[in-house]
Amino acid sequence: MPTPSLTPTLAIAAALAVAALALGCNSQDATQPSAAALGPADPATEIAAKRVGLGDFNPDDFVSGVDNPLFPLPLGRRLIYHGTGDGEPMRVVTDVTRQHKTILGVPVVVVLDRVFVAGELAELTFDWYAQDRHGNVWYFGEDTKEFEDGEVVSTAGSFEAGKDGARAGIIMRAHPKVGLTTPQEDAPGVAEDRARVVDKNVTVTVPYGTLRHCIKTAEFTPLEPDALENKWYCPGVGVTRERDVRGGDVETSLTAIVQR
């Protein structure tokens, strides 16, 4: 659920998926966050992260469903997040739907994200995920819409792997390592989110409860060089907390999980 690019009016709706999440930092590079903000890097994996073997994409490598411990998507699950953005109350509802869709020969799990700001729908996004036999969770794109006064005002950030040069990225590796950068989205000029693991074995306390053995990431994109955010992914849950530290003022935390 990488965070799509939003219009300035809807910047406070940049939760999830989608959707980016950051450490405060002073960038030394006009196009990328500073090394201090992102944590230590592994040069060998930095090179691999540019493609992560995506050129060898094989539909036969995928399994049914998504059960990566740090990004599980059991059908019928609803996750509810609350927080604020630019001083406005925010609620994010994420539903793992039972809809069917196939992309590049791979049956994907369809996830619906809805962002409400001050009680009004600000963004609605369908995200598409699938897991390979090694346990990596791939991101096949999104269909996103931003709203103002009940009307769609933008679909920026929408893409589908296999169309217009877009390729699938990886939202969560089977074995994430500190310093490893992963391309989550690979739609040149449209969606180019990246994530680097900056900490592991983290304990996170949110309204839902206290979760242990989580990982913390710094997520960024060259399309918005001033934006950086942190996400916390926890076993059995997935995204548990998100926080903008640069380029936005959004913070959300998990408050409830419902099986529907």
* CATH code, domain carrying 18: 2.40.360
Is residue 124 domain-resident? yes
Is residue 3 domain-resident? no
pLDDT tens digits, residue range 122-154? 999 999 999 999 999 999 999 999 999 999 999
Tokens representing 3?
Answer: 């965070």
Is residue 2 domain-resident? no
Is residue 255 domain-resident? yes
Is residue 222 domain-resident? yes
**Mean pLDDT across 52-69:** 80
pLDDT tens digits, residue range 141-197? 999 999 999 999 999 999 999 999 999 999 999 999 999 999 999 999 999 999 999
pTM score: 0.81
Q: Looking only at Cα atoms, what is the longest distance across the chain?
A: 48
Tokens representing 203?
Answer: 């304990």
Count Cβ atoms within 10 A of the Cβ of residue 30 and give its class: 0-12 exposed, 13-18 middle, 19 or more buried.
exposed
**pLDDT for the residue numbered 215:** 98
User: Long-range contact list for 161-165, CB < 8 A, 24+ apart?
Assistant: 161/103, 161/104, 161/186, 162/103, 162/104, 164/190
Domain carrying residue 114: 8-259
**Rounded percentage of the chain residues whose pLDDT exceeds 70:** 78
Is residue 81 domain-resident? yes
Is residue 206 domain-resident? yes
Closest CA to 21 of 211, 251, 253, 200: 251
Number of domains in the chain: 1
**Mean pLDDT across 65-84:** 98
